[in-house]
Structure 1
Amino acid sequence: MVNTEIKRRERKSLFAVAGATEVQTFEWIQTRVVDNRTLIEALSSELDIGAAEAIARTSS
């Protein structure tokens, strides 16, 4: 019974953020590395890092 409780808590802590389960389990969601760090740094002075990376990814 203790192992079950520990596993339940571990699973809950892995997915504590809204949408985390979907991001980790949906096959159509992909992560990609953005190589243009200069563009990301320039954009991040005006945008948050996620938006800057998304724009840099589309411009490469």
Structure 2
Amino acid sequence: MDKRKVINAYQRGLLTVQECAQVLGVERVQLIRYLDHELHEGSLQHPPSSSSNALDHL
């Protein structure tokens, strides 16, 4: 599955951070760090309250 689509589903509130991490095959903590970094860089939008090729390095 395209990693950008998974991140987008998380941002739209369709997946939890745990589900998103499972689909991407990374640890939850790794994903949270990545998302936090990307939010500060301005690459991602903040997800609603209840994911890009840049994930290739995870």
The TM-score normalised by the length of structure 1 is 0.29
Structure number with higher relative contact order (C-alpha < 8 Å, ≥ 6 residues apart)? 2
